[in-house]
Amino acid sequence: MAALQELQMDLLPSDPLLHILSFLDFRDLIHCSYVSRRLNELSKHNPLWKSHCSKHWLLTDVERLQSGGSWFCLFKQYYRDLGRYIQYYAVLKRSWEQLKSFLLQRCPRMIASLKEGATEVELNDIEAQIGCRLPDDYRCSYRIHNGQKLVIPGLMGSMSLSNHYRSEVLLDVETAAGGFQQRKGMRRCLPLTFCFHTGLSQYMALQPAEGRRMYESFYPCPDQTAQDPSAIDMFITEWFTTYVQNVVTGEFPIIRDQIYRYVHDNSCVMTTDDITVSVSTSFLPELSSVHPPHFFFTYRIRIEMSSSASPEAACQLDSRYWKITTSDGNVEEVQGPGVVGEFPVMTPGKVHEYASCTTFSTPSEYMEGHYTFHRLANKEEVFHVAIPRFHMICPPFREPLVRTKPSTNHTSRFDDHDDDGEYCDGDGDDFGDLRGINMAALEGAWCPRHI
């Protein structure tokens, strides 16, 4: 009976068999090649492997022609080199290509700063050097591009606010290994990014030590009230593909050839007569802490007068009013002249943009309000332009398992004035066991509070 069944399969025409084989993944296709001589021959059919080369390695006809071999041979070639990353390669390769294509016309300096991919030998040597295994998705990304040259602007985003500037470089794996942490509170943590100006680094936990989860990425934020400098809170972050998606979809704006991590909610737009106000926000981990609760946000506001407005609609901004509601229910009202010291004149088609910042003791809050304008043709004509409600929400954070007693010499970082605030970093060079920010590197930095 078995011989008869095999004979019947051998007598089947090739087309239906190839159609069936086209539904198999590459592993099952290889398994089928061991069933019979007929299936062994059919499983090497070139069009079958073209689809797998396209799906797993993103290979094109041009690359196949350049290789001089069949699709089957090309698949084997890539699998020998990158087979351990087949789960991640297509996603990461596509993200890298989308990012480069997007930045080529907007931030060509970033493209020029990218380094060639690392080799398997180089990555294995790094693992031996630090004594920890790197996650396969991290290794896969560095096989495609081994980070950036240490230049500005940084690929992983910038922020410019008053005299505070941040630009995060994507570290190559060799430089990252040089910053591998073994000190208390940050054991087995590898830096992923670095900012020359702030000392800010995003880290990855390579082992589940000191309260961290394995392969979790975070900004370290030492507890400024703790006597033990290893007491670390940390702001949890999402890694490469999420960041790229925000860049290539335009979620993060390009400003002066740099990527800014402002997030815009489509609901944060409001039009009053001929003037539209829209808002985007950003959380700054390097100026924030969980203990004491101090969450720093910046927001960017765009004010635009419709180009179809009549010339008589021209006006000038006189003052601003804010109503601020924190997550614990407290409400504060603030008003003052102009916006960040300016009194913009709005004419048909005119756009005025500015950035400001504020700090809260709660991890989430929202602001809303209005601007007061007067008409240029008639100063007695005063009117309000609504500012849409916009939310500022701190990213997820984790606290140490054991909270140490507060230090007695802690001082406040910001005063409570409307237009000015001073940032003063606390003591402690070490970071704890959870996600946070390199606050010590920011000693002496400050940023005004303009709300």
pLDDT single digits (tens) 268-286: 999 999 999 999 999 999 9
Fill in the DSSP letter of residue 158.
E
* Residue ranges, CATH 1.20.1280.50, the chain: 8-83
Which parts of the chain register pLDDT below 50?
A: 1, 406-451
Asked whether 153 and 111 are in contact (CB, 8 A), the reply is no
* Residue ranges, CATH 2.60.40.1470, the chain: 262-427
| Cα 296 to Cα 118, 319, 423, 449, distances in angstroms | 37, 24, 11, 10
| Cα 409 from Cα 415, distance rounded (Å) | 17
Q: How confident is the model at residue 405, as a pLDDT? A: 55
Position 90, amino acid: A
Q: Provide the 3-class DSSP secondary structure of residue 280.
A: strand
Asked whether 219 and 200 are in contact (CB, 8 A), the reply is yes
Residue 394 pairs in a beta bridge with none
| Cα 246 from Cα 403, distance rounded (Å) | 35
| Cα 344 from Cα 371, distance rounded (Å) | 11
Q: Which helix (H) or strand (E) holds 121?
A: helix 120-130
| Cα 203 from Cα 236, distance rounded (Å) | 10
Q: How confident is the model at residue 222, as a pLDDT? A: 83
Q: Which helix (H) or strand (E) holds 123?
A: helix 120-130
Q: How confident is the model at residue 319, as a pLDDT? A: 97
**Three-state secondary structure string covering 234-269:** EEECCCHHHHHHHHHCCCCCEECCEEECCEEEEEEE
> Fold for domain 262-427?
Immunoglobulin-like (2.60.40)
Q: How confident is the model at residue 33, as a pLDDT? A: 87
| Cα 163 from Cα 155, distance rounded (Å) | 21
With the CA atoms of 304, 309, 314 and 317 taken in that order, what torsion angle do they form, in degrees rounded to the nearest 10?
Answer: -30
pLDDT single digits (tens) 301-312: 999 999 999 999
Q: How confident is the model at residue 444, as a pLDDT? A: 29
Say if strands 232-236 and 397-398 run parallel, antiparallel, or are unpaired.
antiparallel
* Residue ranges, CATH 3.40.1580, the chain: 93-241
Q: How confident is the model at residue 427, as a pLDDT? A: 30
The answer, yes or no, to whether the previous bond of 292 is cis (omega within 30 of 0) is yes
Computed over every residue of the chain, the mean pLDDT equals: 85
Domain 93-241: give its CATH architecture. Answer: 3-Layer(aba) Sandwich (3.40)
| Cα 48 to Cα 30, 39, 54, 401, 425, distances in angstroms | 11, 13, 10, 53, 61
Q: How confident is the model at residue 429, as a pLDDT? A: 29
Q: How confident is the model at residue 399, as a pLDDT? A: 79
**Residue 444: count of CB within 10 angstroms of its CB:** 8
Q: How confident is the model at residue 2, as a pLDDT? A: 52
CATH number, domain 8-83? 1.20.1280.50
